[in-house]
Amino acid sequence: MSQAAVAPVLVIHGGAGVIRHDMTPPKEKAVRAAMTQALQEGYAKLKAGKSALDAVASALTVLEDDPNFNAGKGAVFTHDGKNELDAAIMDGYTLRAGAVAGVQRVKNPILLARAVMEQSPHVMLSGAGAEAFAQSVGMPLVDPSYFRTEERWQQLQKALKEDAAKQPHADVETAKHFGTVGAVALDAQGHLAAGTSTGGMTDKRWGRIGDSPVIGAGTYANSGCAVSGTGWGEFYLRTVAAHEICMKVTQMRVPLKRAAAEVINQEIPSMGGNGGAIALDAQGHISIPFNTDGMYRGWIGADGVPHVAIYGDEDDGTAEMPAPAGSIAQP
Protein backbone atom coordinates (compact mmCIF):
# COMPACT_ATOMS: atom_id res chain seq x y z
CA MET A 1 0.00 0.00 0.00
CA SER A 2 1.23 3.48 -0.74
CA GLN A 3 1.68 5.79 2.20
CA ALA A 4 -1.17 8.00 0.93
CA ALA A 5 -3.58 5.06 1.22
CA VAL A 6 -3.01 4.56 4.94
CA ALA A 7 -5.86 5.80 7.11
CA PRO A 8 -4.95 5.87 10.83
CA VAL A 9 -6.90 3.53 13.10
CA LEU A 10 -6.98 3.10 16.90
CA VAL A 11 -8.59 0.17 18.72
CA ILE A 12 -8.81 -0.13 22.52
CA HIS A 13 -10.13 -2.50 25.16
CA GLY A 14 -10.86 -2.13 28.84
CA GLY A 15 -11.07 -5.82 29.67
CA ALA A 16 -13.16 -8.87 28.87
CA GLY A 17 -15.45 -10.69 31.29
CA VAL A 18 -18.01 -7.94 31.82
CA ILE A 19 -21.10 -9.29 33.60
CA ARG A 20 -24.27 -7.44 32.70
CA HIS A 21 -26.02 -7.84 36.05
CA ASP A 22 -23.03 -6.33 37.86
CA MET A 23 -23.20 -3.16 35.77
CA THR A 24 -25.01 -0.11 37.14
CA PRO A 25 -26.18 2.77 34.92
CA PRO A 26 -23.68 5.23 36.46
CA LYS A 27 -20.79 2.79 36.02
CA GLU A 28 -21.78 2.03 32.44
CA LYS A 29 -21.96 5.75 31.65
CA ALA A 30 -18.54 6.35 33.22
CA VAL A 31 -16.94 3.45 31.36
CA ARG A 32 -18.34 4.56 28.01
CA ALA A 33 -17.17 8.13 28.65
CA ALA A 34 -13.64 7.01 29.55
CA MET A 35 -13.41 4.73 26.51
CA THR A 36 -14.59 7.56 24.27
CA GLN A 37 -12.06 9.96 25.79
CA ALA A 38 -9.25 7.43 25.33
CA LEU A 39 -10.17 6.98 21.67
CA GLN A 40 -10.37 10.72 21.06
CA GLU A 41 -7.07 11.51 22.73
CA GLY A 42 -5.22 8.68 21.04
CA TYR A 43 -6.71 9.45 17.64
CA ALA A 44 -5.81 13.12 18.00
CA LYS A 45 -2.17 12.01 18.06
CA LEU A 46 -2.64 10.04 14.85
CA LYS A 47 -4.40 12.91 13.10
CA ALA A 48 -1.55 15.21 14.10
CA GLY A 49 0.88 12.88 12.34
CA LYS A 50 2.25 11.32 15.52
CA SER A 51 3.29 7.68 15.73
CA ALA A 52 1.21 4.63 16.57
CA LEU A 53 3.28 4.42 19.78
CA ASP A 54 2.16 7.91 20.75
CA ALA A 55 -1.49 6.99 20.14
CA VAL A 56 -1.25 3.79 22.18
CA ALA A 57 0.47 5.51 25.10
CA SER A 58 -1.98 8.41 25.08
CA ALA A 59 -5.08 6.20 25.01
CA LEU A 60 -3.80 3.89 27.75
CA THR A 61 -2.82 6.76 30.02
CA VAL A 62 -6.47 7.86 30.02
CA LEU A 63 -7.62 4.38 31.04
CA GLU A 64 -4.87 3.98 33.67
CA ASP A 65 -6.07 7.21 35.28
CA ASP A 66 -9.70 6.07 35.43
CA PRO A 67 -10.67 4.00 38.52
CA ASN A 68 -13.23 1.95 36.56
CA PHE A 69 -10.46 -0.13 34.99
CA ASN A 70 -8.02 -2.62 36.44
CA ALA A 71 -4.91 -0.64 35.52
CA GLY A 72 -3.22 2.26 37.29
CA LYS A 73 -5.67 3.88 39.70
CA GLY A 74 -8.34 1.27 40.39
CA ALA A 75 -6.01 -1.72 40.01
CA VAL A 76 -7.03 -4.84 41.90
CA PHE A 77 -5.38 -5.95 45.14
CA THR A 78 -3.03 -8.84 45.70
CA HIS A 79 -3.57 -11.41 48.47
CA ASP A 80 -1.34 -9.25 50.68
CA GLY A 81 -3.41 -6.12 50.08
CA LYS A 82 -1.06 -4.41 47.64
CA ASN A 83 -1.39 -3.13 44.08
CA GLU A 84 1.20 -4.62 41.72
CA LEU A 85 1.06 -3.24 38.19
CA ASP A 86 2.28 -4.61 34.86
CA ALA A 87 2.50 -3.05 31.39
CA ALA A 88 4.11 -3.50 28.00
CA ILE A 89 4.39 -1.60 24.73
CA MET A 90 5.79 -2.67 21.36
CA ASP A 91 6.68 -0.88 18.14
CA GLY A 92 5.79 -3.10 15.18
CA TYR A 93 8.02 -1.17 12.76
CA THR A 94 11.27 -1.69 14.67
CA LEU A 95 10.25 -4.64 16.91
CA ARG A 96 11.48 -2.64 19.88
CA ALA A 97 9.58 -3.33 23.10
CA GLY A 98 9.49 -2.31 26.73
CA ALA A 99 7.76 -3.80 29.76
CA VAL A 100 7.48 -3.44 33.52
CA ALA A 101 6.12 -5.89 36.08
CA GLY A 102 5.19 -5.75 39.75
CA VAL A 103 5.57 -1.99 40.19
CA GLN A 104 3.74 -0.41 43.13
CA ARG A 105 4.49 3.33 42.89
CA VAL A 106 4.33 4.16 39.18
CA LYS A 107 1.26 6.24 38.27
CA ASN A 108 1.28 5.27 34.59
CA PRO A 109 3.03 1.96 34.01
CA ILE A 110 2.56 2.22 30.22
CA LEU A 111 4.74 5.33 30.18
CA LEU A 112 7.42 3.55 32.19
CA ALA A 113 7.26 0.60 29.80
CA ARG A 114 7.88 2.99 26.93
CA ALA A 115 10.78 4.56 28.82
CA VAL A 116 12.30 1.10 29.30
CA MET A 117 12.06 0.59 25.53
CA GLU A 118 13.49 3.96 24.58
CA GLN A 119 15.90 4.81 27.39
CA SER A 120 17.34 1.49 28.60
CA PRO A 121 19.18 -1.42 27.00
CA HIS A 122 16.55 -3.83 28.35
CA VAL A 123 13.05 -5.01 27.47
CA MET A 124 11.56 -5.83 30.88
CA LEU A 125 12.22 -4.45 34.36
CA SER A 126 10.42 -5.48 37.53
CA GLY A 127 9.65 -4.34 41.04
CA ALA A 128 12.06 -2.08 42.89
CA GLY A 129 14.48 -2.07 39.97
CA ALA A 130 11.81 -0.74 37.61
CA GLU A 131 10.93 1.96 40.12
CA ALA A 132 14.59 2.94 40.52
CA PHE A 133 14.82 3.21 36.74
CA ALA A 134 11.70 5.39 36.73
CA GLN A 135 13.37 7.82 39.13
CA SER A 136 16.56 7.78 37.06
CA VAL A 137 14.68 9.04 34.00
CA GLY A 138 12.78 11.68 35.94
CA MET A 139 9.48 9.87 36.35
CA PRO A 140 8.05 10.73 39.79
CA LEU A 141 6.70 7.97 42.00
CA VAL A 142 3.38 8.12 43.85
CA ASP A 143 2.37 6.80 47.24
CA PRO A 144 0.88 3.29 46.93
CA SER A 145 -2.37 4.61 48.42
CA TYR A 146 -2.99 6.46 45.15
CA PHE A 147 -4.15 3.23 43.51
CA ARG A 148 -6.66 2.22 46.18
CA THR A 149 -10.39 2.21 45.50
CA GLU A 150 -13.05 0.89 47.86
CA GLU A 151 -14.60 -1.29 45.14
CA ARG A 152 -11.33 -3.16 44.57
CA TRP A 153 -10.72 -3.46 48.30
CA GLN A 154 -14.11 -5.09 48.80
CA GLN A 155 -13.41 -7.49 45.94
CA LEU A 156 -10.31 -8.61 47.80
CA GLN A 157 -12.22 -9.05 51.06
CA LYS A 158 -14.70 -11.30 49.28
CA ALA A 159 -11.89 -13.35 47.79
CA LEU A 160 -10.16 -13.69 51.18
CA LYS A 161 -13.38 -14.97 52.76
CA GLU A 162 -13.68 -17.55 50.00
CA ASP A 163 -10.05 -18.49 50.59
CA ALA A 164 -10.71 -18.99 54.29
CA ALA A 165 -13.79 -21.11 53.57
CA LYS A 166 -11.84 -23.05 50.94
CA GLN A 167 -14.53 -22.19 48.42
CA PRO A 168 -13.81 -21.78 44.74
CA HIS A 169 -13.90 -18.15 43.75
CA ALA A 170 -17.29 -17.38 42.28
CA ASP A 171 -15.77 -14.74 40.06
CA VAL A 172 -12.79 -16.72 38.75
CA GLU A 173 -14.51 -17.11 35.40
CA THR A 174 -14.32 -13.38 34.95
CA ALA A 175 -10.85 -13.27 36.52
CA LYS A 176 -12.25 -10.59 38.78
CA HIS A 177 -13.40 -8.74 35.68
CA PHE A 178 -10.29 -9.15 33.58
CA GLY A 179 -10.05 -5.36 33.68
CA THR A 180 -6.80 -5.18 31.75
CA VAL A 181 -6.63 -2.25 29.31
CA GLY A 182 -5.02 -2.33 25.90
CA ALA A 183 -4.60 -0.47 22.63
CA VAL A 184 -3.40 -1.13 19.10
CA ALA A 185 -2.84 1.57 16.49
CA LEU A 186 -1.96 2.10 12.84
CA ASP A 187 -0.43 5.47 11.99
CA ALA A 188 -0.26 7.49 8.78
CA GLN A 189 3.16 6.01 7.99
CA GLY A 190 1.65 2.53 7.99
CA HIS A 191 3.37 1.54 11.24
CA LEU A 192 1.67 -0.50 13.96
CA ALA A 193 2.03 -0.54 17.75
CA ALA A 194 0.46 -2.38 20.67
CA GLY A 195 0.28 -1.77 24.41
CA THR A 196 -1.32 -3.38 27.45
CA SER A 197 -1.56 -2.37 31.13
CA THR A 198 -3.04 -4.23 34.11
CA GLY A 199 -3.27 -4.70 37.85
CA GLY A 200 -3.46 -8.46 37.33
CA MET A 201 -5.86 -10.72 39.21
CA THR A 202 -7.57 -10.04 42.52
CA ASP A 203 -5.98 -12.10 45.32
CA LYS A 204 -2.91 -13.00 43.26
CA ARG A 205 0.03 -14.32 45.29
CA TRP A 206 3.79 -14.78 45.22
CA GLY A 207 4.50 -11.96 42.80
CA ARG A 208 2.35 -13.54 40.10
CA ILE A 209 2.81 -11.96 36.67
CA GLY A 210 0.33 -12.56 33.89
CA ASP A 211 0.48 -12.23 30.14
CA SER A 212 0.08 -8.46 29.77
CA PRO A 213 3.75 -7.43 30.18
CA VAL A 214 5.11 -10.51 28.43
CA ILE A 215 5.99 -9.70 24.82
CA GLY A 216 4.25 -12.23 22.58
CA ALA A 217 1.74 -13.40 25.17
CA GLY A 218 -0.53 -10.45 25.94
CA THR A 219 1.17 -7.82 23.80
CA TYR A 220 2.77 -8.03 20.36
CA ALA A 221 3.23 -6.00 17.18
CA ASN A 222 5.20 -6.41 13.97
CA SER A 223 5.03 -4.80 10.54
CA GLY A 224 1.77 -6.51 9.66
CA CYS A 225 -0.17 -7.07 12.86
CA ALA A 226 -0.71 -5.70 16.38
CA VAL A 227 -2.50 -7.44 19.26
CA SER A 228 -3.41 -6.72 22.87
CA GLY A 229 -5.10 -9.44 24.92
CA THR A 230 -7.35 -9.52 27.95
CA GLY A 231 -8.34 -12.66 29.79
CA TRP A 232 -7.07 -15.49 31.91
CA GLY A 233 -3.39 -14.67 31.58
CA GLU A 234 -2.00 -18.11 32.26
CA PHE A 235 -3.59 -19.39 29.06
CA TYR A 236 -2.35 -16.46 27.00
CA LEU A 237 1.14 -17.17 28.29
CA ARG A 238 0.92 -20.87 27.42
CA THR A 239 -0.31 -20.18 23.89
CA VAL A 240 1.86 -17.09 23.33
CA ALA A 241 -1.47 -15.78 22.08
CA ALA A 242 -0.61 -12.34 20.68
CA HIS A 243 2.41 -13.63 18.78
CA GLU A 244 0.44 -16.64 17.54
CA ILE A 245 -2.22 -14.40 16.01
CA CYS A 246 0.35 -12.21 14.29
CA MET A 247 2.31 -15.17 12.93
CA LYS A 248 -0.87 -16.55 11.39
CA VAL A 249 -1.46 -13.17 9.74
CA THR A 250 2.06 -12.34 8.57
CA GLN A 251 3.59 -15.77 7.92
CA MET A 252 0.61 -17.95 7.02
CA ARG A 253 -1.43 -15.17 5.34
CA VAL A 254 -4.52 -16.02 7.37
CA PRO A 255 -7.08 -13.16 7.37
CA LEU A 256 -6.94 -11.20 10.60
CA LYS A 257 -10.46 -12.01 11.81
CA ARG A 258 -9.95 -15.72 11.30
CA ALA A 259 -6.49 -15.74 12.86
CA ALA A 260 -7.67 -13.93 15.99
CA ALA A 261 -10.77 -16.11 16.33
CA GLU A 262 -8.76 -19.33 16.00
CA VAL A 263 -6.54 -18.38 18.93
CA ILE A 264 -8.99 -16.54 21.21
CA ASN A 265 -12.19 -18.49 20.59
CA GLN A 266 -10.80 -21.93 19.81
CA GLU A 267 -7.28 -22.58 21.09
CA ILE A 268 -7.57 -20.84 24.48
CA PRO A 269 -11.06 -22.19 25.37
CA SER A 270 -9.96 -25.71 24.39
CA MET A 271 -7.43 -25.51 27.23
CA GLY A 272 -9.94 -24.15 29.74
CA GLY A 273 -9.22 -20.44 29.44
CA ASN A 274 -11.28 -17.49 28.28
CA GLY A 275 -11.02 -13.81 27.44
CA GLY A 276 -10.67 -11.60 24.40
CA ALA A 277 -8.30 -9.50 22.30
CA ILE A 278 -8.08 -6.58 19.94
CA ALA A 279 -6.16 -7.04 16.71
CA LEU A 280 -5.28 -4.71 13.85
CA ASP A 281 -3.41 -5.31 10.60
CA ALA A 282 -1.40 -3.04 8.32
CA GLN A 283 -4.40 -2.56 6.01
CA GLY A 284 -6.53 -1.24 8.87
CA HIS A 285 -8.68 -4.33 9.32
CA ILE A 286 -9.96 -4.76 12.90
CA SER A 287 -10.79 -7.91 14.85
CA ILE A 288 -12.24 -7.95 18.39
CA PRO A 289 -12.92 -11.58 19.35
CA PHE A 290 -14.03 -12.50 22.88
CA ASN A 291 -15.83 -15.40 24.52
CA THR A 292 -17.06 -13.82 27.74
CA ASP A 293 -20.33 -12.11 28.62
CA GLY A 294 -18.92 -8.84 27.40
CA MET A 295 -15.80 -6.81 26.75
CA TYR A 296 -15.13 -3.11 27.06
CA ARG A 297 -14.05 -2.26 23.51
CA GLY A 298 -13.87 0.59 21.03
CA TRP A 299 -12.30 1.86 17.84
CA ILE A 300 -11.96 4.99 15.76
CA GLY A 301 -10.98 5.35 12.12
CA ALA A 302 -11.14 7.62 9.11
CA ASP A 303 -14.47 9.24 9.99
CA GLY A 304 -13.17 10.29 13.40
CA VAL A 305 -16.23 8.86 15.17
CA PRO A 306 -15.57 6.82 18.35
CA HIS A 307 -17.35 3.46 18.44
CA VAL A 308 -17.73 1.98 21.95
CA ALA A 309 -19.42 -1.24 23.06
CA ILE A 310 -19.61 -3.28 26.26
CA TYR A 311 -21.92 -6.29 25.98
CA GLY A 312 -21.64 -9.40 23.87
CA ASP A 313 -24.89 -8.75 22.05
CA GLU A 314 -24.04 -5.11 21.34
CA ASP A 315 -22.93 -3.96 17.89
CA ASP A 316 -19.46 -2.44 18.01
CA GLY A 317 -19.58 -1.28 14.41
CA THR A 318 -16.71 -3.43 13.14
CA ALA A 319 -18.96 -5.59 10.97
CA GLU A 320 -20.10 -2.60 8.98
CA MET A 321 -16.85 -0.65 8.86
CA PRO A 322 -15.75 0.17 5.31
CA ALA A 323 -12.74 -1.59 3.85
CA PRO A 324 -9.65 0.62 4.22
CA ALA A 325 -8.48 2.46 1.13
CA GLY A 326 -6.39 0.31 -1.16
CA SER A 327 -7.39 -2.94 0.55
CA ILE A 328 -9.61 -5.90 -0.13
CA ALA A 329 -12.35 -6.63 2.37
CA GLN A 330 -11.68 -9.74 4.47
CA PRO A 331 -14.03 -12.67 4.93
By annotation, the residues acting in catalysis are 180
Amino acid at 53: L
Interacting residues of 101 by C-beta distance below 8 A, sequence separation 6+:
86, 124, 125, 126, 127, 130, 209, 213
> Alpha helix locations (H) across the chain?
25-47, 52-64, 109-119, 127-136, 150-164, 233-239, 241-250, 256-262, 268-270
Whether residue 265 contacts residue 295, with contact meaning beta carbons closer than 8 Å, is answered with: no
Indicate the DSSP class of residue 103: E
Whether residue 200 contacts residue 86, with contact meaning beta carbons closer than 8 Å, is answered with: yes
**CA 166, 292, 246, 65 torsion-angle sign:** negative
**What is the full DSSP assignment across 16-50?**
E---GGG--HHHHHHHHHHHHHHHHHHHHHHHTT-
- As to burial, measured by CB atoms within 10 angstroms (0-12 exposed, 13-18 middle, 19+ buried), residue 142 is middle
